[in-house]
Amino acid sequence: MAKKLLIIDTDCGIDDAQAIMMALAAPGVQILGITCCFGNTAVDNVCQNVLRVLAVCEQQQIPVFRGAAVSLVGGKQAPNDHFGGDGFGDMLEGRDPQWKEKIQKEHAVDAMIRLVNENQKQVSLVGLGPLTNLALALRLDPQFPQKLNELFIMGGNMEGKGNVTLCGEFNFVMDPESAYVVLEEFLCPTHIATWEYCCRHKLTWEFFNELINQDTPAARLMKLITSRCWSYSKEAMMNKRDVYFGPGFVSYDSYAMAAFIDRAVVTENVECPVRVELQGSICRGMMALDQTNALRKSHRVFVMNNCDLAKFRNLLTESLRQPLNK
């Protein structure tokens, strides 16, 4: 059976790394390239983090492309230290001083367009960060979305609960205009793992400890980069910051990747039009679900609602049994 072709667009922090490892471990997936975007950290750090993951998993043949360093409209984004200043818990051990030489010269957006044009209707795109590169690809090639097979996104929300603002999820808040453009103009089949979906299906800290204590290079990297990270602290996650969903371990971007790898991981979707709000100090960046067809939009997306946690746990476990011979 032919492998599913994939482009990963990422702002590589710790959960992105986990999602990338999940795709690397999936026997039915061929990664054509990884495109980098600002978000969890500056885009140069993102590039280095991706290279570090590929090196540990012995998959350095996969090309990595540098993309957007700022949002579509520009302006200053709020600093983010959710995964440390470098996105990897500020654990510098293992960084490659020659990393710039290993990044492709082609811009990420140009590469994205080229790879999809070369494999029309065969490539799926998984977006794990702000959607700036995707919006730019659309503006350069208005036919780009219809040449895709499917789009999977980790971002947005479905209940108006935010994690960086009152109503906004991080990836969409970092570039609301790009999120708006993508969800208005990408008419390919689109699947969204929202912040609330991920949080509702969090895993136990006991499972997390088993996961990172596997005796493999990938697991050792995850143990290292989570060791000083607030987001992977059991004690911190049990405080009032987790008032909505209760304590537990969440690898946000992995939920979108798992849905791409195995559709059966998602057991229920809400299928409806959506729109990203661009106005206001409270709701800017919020994704609204239109379940009454008030917007009169023809395009409907699949918003993930329920998850098979046994299948998801298995994909996470397999992702850290690397390097693998695919």
Q: What is the pLDDT along the chain (326 residues), one digit of tens a residue?
A: 789 999 999 999 999 999 999 999 999 999 999 999 999 999 999 999 999 999 999 999 999 999 999 999 976 565 566 776 788 877 766 678 899 999 999 999 999 999 999 999 999 999 999 999 999 999 999 999 999 999 999 999 999 888 889 999 999 999 999 999 999 999 999 999 999 999 999 999 999 999 999 999 999 999 999 987 767 766 655 554 554 566 788 999 999 999 999 999 999 999 999 999 999 889 999 999 999 999 999 999 999 999 999 999 999 999 999 887 65
Contact yes or no for 299/273 (Cβ under 8 A): yes
pLDDT score at 57 = 96
Query: Per the structure block, which two tokens stand in for 115?
Result: 């790879």
Query: Per the structure block, which two tokens stand in for 29?
Result: 């997936």
Contact yes or no for 320/21 (Cβ under 8 A): yes
Q: What is the DSSP letter of 233?
A: -
Instruction: List the chain domain ranges.
Output: 4-319
> In the beta sheet, which residues pair with residue 69?
none
Which phi-psi region, left, alpha or beta, contains residue 126 (left: φ > 0; alpha: ψ -120 to 50)?
beta
pLDDT score at 227 = 87
Q: What is the DSSP letter of 271?
A: E
pLDDT score at 143 = 97
pTM of the model: 0.95
Q: What is the DSSP letter of 319?
A: H
pLDDT score at 1 = 74
pLDDT score at 245 = 61
Query: Per the structure block, which two tokens stand in for 58?
Result: 């012995």
Three-class DSSP category at 249: strand
Q: State the catalytic residue, choosing from 11, 15, 86, 175.
A: 11
Q: Under 8 Å CB-to-CB from 100, ≥6 apart: which residues?
A: none
Burial class (CB in 10 A: 0-12, 13-18, 19+), 28: exposed
| Backbone φ and ψ of 118, nearest 5° | -75, -15
149 CA to centre of own chain: 18
Q: What distance in Å separates the CA atoms of residue 143 and residue 124, rounded to the nearest whole number?
A: 15
pLDDT score at 32 = 98
Q: What distance in Å separates the CA atoms of residue 281 and residue 265, rounded to the nearest whole number?
A: 36
| Residue 11 appears among annotated catalytic residues | yes
| Backbone φ and ψ of 299, nearest 5° | -90, 130
- For residue 323, say if its preceding peptide bond is cis, omega within 30 degrees of 0: yes
Contact yes or no for 132/171 (Cβ under 8 A): no
Query: Per the structure block, which two tokens stand in for 56?
Result: 């540990």
CA-to-CA dists, residue 111 to 29, 73, 136, 208, 253, angstroms: 19, 22, 12, 35, 22
Q: Under 8 Å CB-to-CB from 141, ≥6 apart: which residues?
A: 113, 117
Residue whose pair of structure tokens reads 């790009």 in the numeric block: 178
b vs e for 68-94, b when ≥16 Cβ sit within 10 Å of the residue's Cβ? bebbbeeeeeeebebbbebbbbebeee
Say which amino acid occupies 200. R
pLDDT score at 74 = 79
Q: HSE-up of 122 (CA within 13 Å, CB side)?
A: 15
- Please state which CATH class domain 4-319 belongs to: alpha beta
Residue whose pair of structure tokens reads 């710790």 in the numeric block: 14
Q: Under 8 Å CB-to-CB from 298, ≥6 apart: which residues?
A: none
Q: How close are the terminal C-alpha atoms of the chain, in Å?
A: 14
Q: What distance in Å separates the CA atoms of residue 176 and residue 279, rounded to the nearest whole number?
A: 10
